[in-house]
Structure 1
């Protein structure tokens, strides 16, 4: 039977790892317990988290036990990794709300039944720590000189790094130690931007417990230009359908660059690699078939097959031979709203995130009403704009919404 290590390697997940020979042997011969951490900085996971969930899912399918660690405690501090400024401080109430929402999302991807996976919150041990005891047990094993060479700190030293954030590495290392003691967890997985923090945990366990511990990072989801994927005009591409609709989610993947198709199919779908190679080798207009498979498979994983089918049908109604517009994202207004400008209506119904964004779209000829470019900021909606009670808004090249008049 193929080791999950080979599967992860073939699909392009593995970026960096400690103790390569030991990890390969452990994954081949044992059923290990590993963890991935998720800080609850919002009440939904986004596409950046999704690749970690896929990483976790591949491991679980191979018989290994995941621990999904929600950072209710570390979110009180904030991870400086990849940030040029200090993160916004969250209240305990904000964090508790976010933790609750994220737990529900995770259960769609990971099987938590019969102890096949564990869901924990590091607030359970971090918030009641005695600081002096923590420094004596954990802090003594961390070299400040070495910490300052870590990538997550280096880029912050010029602008300023608070002592609050400087503690984050110690806390993440302590999480790994705690999970090792409680559940026999021997490996931490995560995004490559967490490498420095993950090394700290591995080193701490090996020093204090004299036991094996490992870290393995997955590649970040970036496009062919090296930029992080998952950014839209409205911000992050969320997994919560209230924040990013299944149709918008589908359309994002339907419109990725040709050069990114193979990477996306490999990392965020379970399409067999033989089929991934075949689809990504398509050229010219035929590559659109691969993008349709990508969009459908990712949307199915996140939102379920029924929503994926609806999104697919809506896209085909707008861009293909279909004519069923029932699944195109729809907002409803009343006749009283006709007193407002079209721009105000689009912002209020969240079709456009802000007035500034709307003005920019109009000035750049990026907004159309019923396939006619909107050129005036003061343009209003009139009853004659609605055919059978429906007006069609096109934002950019391929983003459509229906406005229904009641």
Structure 2
């Protein structure tokens, strides 16, 4: 598919004047990381992620057709056409996050709408109210932009589905992923589950730079119901945004080697997911986490998002794995928090270890028990 396949054409809004849609959309955690992109939101390398379950964004999109965008009658024709002329050059929306109006979120949504307008041209026909909340701390190294932007993209696709009821579920999901990507790259991996690949790779059938796809091969039973306990080392906002970090890859001295490394790791982890080799899984996932942060520490300007307690947790995990031969491992997002990954059959021993040894390094002992999920869910469509 190409970008042109996602352009909505020959539509009318007259039969969909208002409504309210709610989607519950998960975050995700990349196993092979995406770091570095080209415009418009095209990844420099392929990534693969676990879709999460407990870490989600709940977004409600309320919409109402602007006065003058319905089919005008003869008496009000001129008045309504003037209103259309006034409204057609602007997006009208309000944003509420955790129950509070958030005008500081508006520039990002404005940019998102500008990027996607050619694909969902009804955007300027409606007044929107966006209401969101997270089940986890915002901007703390859990991919809140991934769940947030994917939820909004799904809400907009539900509006499109009302306008054009003939679109298939497959097309719906692909276009939602395509739109979400234009808001936040990793958001395209939060539409479906369990494992999502984003970025064209010669060994992954159907993979694309334009949207995420479900891992197309058999997933070994070892990776079913995989756990991810997120240790909240730092619940504050990141010192450096991911957007800034991606841009620093443009002139990075090790960028080319990093992209080759990630491409090779996709080949390796694809085989691992199919054959169930947990030891090789650990080696790839931990190397990827440290490579991501190595890119941050060697960019210009350089920065460190890990905290002292991040390193203490990592060393504790390594010690525990050596003692017990457990298949516990860690990964990191672009932040200080640690994602502790482990298989279903080790949940008791690993949970005991986390509680007794690791949560002491978390901010106020905060952590989130999560596991691999099935993807986004439509909660309301009125």
**Same-fold status (TM-score > 0.5):** no
Give the structure with higher Rg (CA).
1
Tell which has more relative contact order, 1 or 2 (C-alpha 8 A, sep 6+): 2
- TM-score normalised to structure 2 length: 0.29
Structure richer in strand, relative to its length: 2
- TM-score normalised to structure 1 length: 0.27
